[in-house]
Amino acid sequence: MKCRSLMPLKKTDLLRIWRPSMDIVPMSQRFFHCDQPFAPVCILLLLASITGCAPVALREARSRGAEPVPFELLLYQTAEFTGRAVIVGGFVAVTRNTEKGSELVVIQSPLDSRLEPKGKDRSLGRFLVVTERFLDPEVYAKDRRVTVSGSVSGIRHESVGGAPYAYPVILAEMIYLWPEADVSASPYYPYRPCPSWWYDPWYPWYPYPYRPRPWCW
């Protein structure tokens, strides 16, 4: 039995994929193929892959029509968003309770694909969350991450460090409190610091060549 020699693949061959019907489709024309009867299923799977990582409560909020909005527009054009359902998030600055419920002063943060706040360094301002629920200040503590779904009710003028500030006010329908990182789950916990002399690689053989030491744990 003789083996046929393999011809080298051309660049155009590498940019093609096979359909189930064994037709060759150029990659430039089609990223993936889905037969027509299964097209709705493919679309649902694609959408699930985009939003499937977000918490259930946030996915439900989006299904009810709430959507993330550019915060700079919400901050400077609040009147145009009044009554609209939005999703915003950030880091808790202050939690205060009133006779009618609770309020959160939140330092805004951009949201990732999971609608999770990214970081305070990228904040564009602050917003105020109003709810009829009681929010325990020990739970909704400073720097806890929250994502809020609710309707824009307008602007409230207060002060931040003595300077006037106009807060966009969100009447909360849902407040998602992101869990804190569990440090104890780390394989390096609990941390055991090494002795001070450990950080001198030549101790006690200085000035002789470096000798590696065993792990101080």
CATH of the domain at 103: 2.40.50.140
Considering the domain architecture, whether residues 127 and 157 belong to the same structural domain is answered as yes
More confident residue, 117 or 195: 117
Considering the domain architecture, whether residues 171 and 71 belong to the same structural domain is answered as yes
Considering the domain architecture, whether residues 107 and 25 belong to the same structural domain is answered as no
What tens digit of pLDDT does each residue of 184-197 get?
A: 555 555 545 555 45
Considering the domain architecture, whether residues 118 and 160 belong to the same structural domain is answered as yes
What tens digit of pLDDT does each residue of 43-98 get?
A: 555 544 444 467 888 888 888 888 999 999 999 999 999 999 999 999 999 999 99
Considering the domain architecture, whether residues 37 and 81 belong to the same structural domain is answered as no
- What proportions of the chain, in percent to the nearest 5, are helix, strand and coil? 20, 30, 45
* Structural contact between residues 104 and 168, judged by C-beta atoms closer than 8 angstroms: no
Considering the domain architecture, whether residues 145 and 97 belong to the same structural domain is answered as yes
Of 51, 74, 97, which one is at a domain's C-terminal end?
51
> Is residue 207 one of the residues assigned to a domain?
no
Flag whether pLDDT at 214 surpasses 90: no
Question: What does residue 94 show for φ and ψ, rounded to 5 degrees?
Answer: -145, 140
Q: What is the pTM of this model?
A: 0.62
More confident residue, 114 or 47: 114
Residue range(s) defining the domain that contains residue 25: 17-51
Amino acid at 134: F
pLDDT at 18: 41
Considering the domain architecture, whether residues 69 and 170 belong to the same structural domain is answered as yes
Ramachandran quadrant class, 203 (left: phi over 0; alpha: psi -120 to 50; beta: rest): beta
Split into its structural domains, the chain has a count of: 2
pLDDT at 54: 74
Average pLDDT, the chain: 76
What is the band of 14 on the pLDDT scale with cuts at 50, 70, 90? Answer: very low
Query: Using CA atoms, how far apart are residues 79 and 70, in angstroms rounded to an integer?
Result: 14
Considering the domain architecture, whether residues 129 and 110 belong to the same structural domain is answered as yes
Flag whether pLDDT at 123 surpasses 60: yes
> Is residue 1 one of the residues assigned to a domain?
no
Intra-chain end-to-end CA distance of the chain, in Å: 63
Mean pLDDT check: name the lowest of 30-39, 103-112, 119-128. 30-39
What tens digit of pLDDT does each residue of 157-189 get?
A: 999 999 999 999 999 999 999 998 765 555 555
Considering the domain architecture, whether residues 77 and 100 belong to the same structural domain is answered as yes
Token couple for 81? 């968003």
> Is residue 11 one of the residues assigned to a domain?
no
pLDDT at 178: 95
Considering the domain architecture, whether residues 27 and 99 belong to the same structural domain is answered as no
> Is residue 31 one of the residues assigned to a domain?
yes
